[in-house]
Amino acid sequence: MTARLVNILIAWLCTCTGAVTFGTAGCGGNAVQAPSSSGTYTTSFPLTENPISEGGHWINGGAVGLDWTNISTTPGLAVGHETNGNASDATAILTGTWPANQYAQATVYWNPDPREPVPEVELRLRSAISVHNNRGYEITFGGGYLIIVRWNGPFQNYTYLVNASGSQYTPKTGDVIKATIAGNTISAYKNGVLMGQTTDGTWTDGTPGMGFNSGASGGTYDNTYGFTSFTAGPT
């Protein structure tokens, strides 16, 4: 595609959405950056979508997996919609083919209602979703804990790899959380500091993504915590 055609396409997208940018060209505001030549994907959630799609870049746990739930966006914020707290976490993973060594990173919005029992912000690695199947690795920061979980595929079938408690794991608004996998080593970071690490070799492929847990009050306080931006790429 010629540069002129690219610019025409960008101009049309800006007219229709007012918010989409690709590469270095664009129309400002919140951005969705399509996967670059280095394989990264970045978004600050410019659209109002339920479930999140961003032009077909996301697969949702409710829409596709059926047993889990979806993630929605309003400009600048992604939130989950788990409804009953039975491990039906809101999940969205990226489409496409990704290298096995990968990372996911997000900026947190954190103001959970005190009546929300189990607010969690989650990153996913080496994940895949199909009907009644949701597998991969979940790296989660919650109120006073960090967990790294292997999702084994079927509904409610998962294995804890790390389950650590402490106030240092509680996120706050503006924190940047990151999860990486290289070989069999899974690492969790908050603001650039290593917070937890484990090894597991069960899943060797899949895509990065994100998720949210809300416990038994799911649906009531969805908008009180989420992500304001997300980036994924190769490690």
107 and 131 in a single domain? The answer is yes
Q: Is 4 exposed, middle or buried (0-12, 13-18, 19+ CB in 10 A)?
A: exposed
Q: 159 and 123 in one domain? A: yes
Q: How confident is the model at residue 138 (pLDDT cuts 50, 70, 90)?
A: very high
Q: Is 139 helix (H, G, I), strand (E, B) or coil?
A: strand
pLDDT beyond 60 at 21: no
The per-type count for the chain, helices as H runs and strands as E runs, is: 1, 18
Distances (CA, A) of 136 to 2, 22, 41, 170: 39, 29, 19, 23
CATH classification of the domain holding 70: 2.60.120.560
Band (pLDDT 50/70/90 cuts) for residue 217 is: low
148 and 201 share one domain: yes
54-83: per-residue pLDDT in tens? 999 999 999 999 999 999 999 999 999 987
Round to whole Å and give the CA distance between 82 and 55: 23
DSSP string, 35-89: --TT--EEE---S-BSS--TTTTEEETTTTTSSSB-EEEETTEEEE---SSSS--
Q: Are residues 8 and 68 in the same domain?
A: no
Judgement on whether residues 158 and 45 belong to the same structural domain of the protein? yes
The boundaries of the domain holding residue 115 are 37-234
Residue 158 has pLDDT above 50, yes or no: yes
Residue 15 pLDDT class (50, 70, 90 cuts): very low
Q: Are residues 26 and 87 in the same domain?
A: no
Query: Are both 194 and 116 inside the same structural domain?
Result: yes
Check residue 216 and give its pLDDT. Answer: 64
Residue 206 and residue 123 share a domain: yes
Asked if 27 contacts 20 with a C-beta cutoff of 8 angstroms, the reply is: yes
Per-residue confidence (pLDDT) for residue 3, from 0 to 100: 35
pLDDT value of residue 56: 97
Distance CA 163, CA 67 (A): 24
Model pLDDT, residue 29: 47
Whether residue 1 is predicted with pLDDT greater than 50 in this model: the reply is no
The whole model's pTM is what? 0.86
Same domain, 102 and 183: yes
4 and 72 assigned to the same domain: no
The count of domains in the chain is 2
Mean pLDDT estimate for the chain: 87
Q: Same domain, yes or no, for 172 and 213?
A: yes
Same domain, 9 and 96: no
Identify the residue with better confidence: 117 or 146: 146
pLDDT, residue 85, reads 73
Q: What pLDDT is stored for residue 220 in this prediction?
A: 74
pLDDT digits (tens, 9 = 90+) for 169-196: 999 999 999 999 999 999 999 999 999 9
The conformation of residue 223, written as its DSSP 8-state character, comes to: G
Per-residue pLDDT at 233: 98
Alpha-carbon distance 48 to 161, whole Å? 35
Alpha helices for the chain (secondary structure H): 3-17
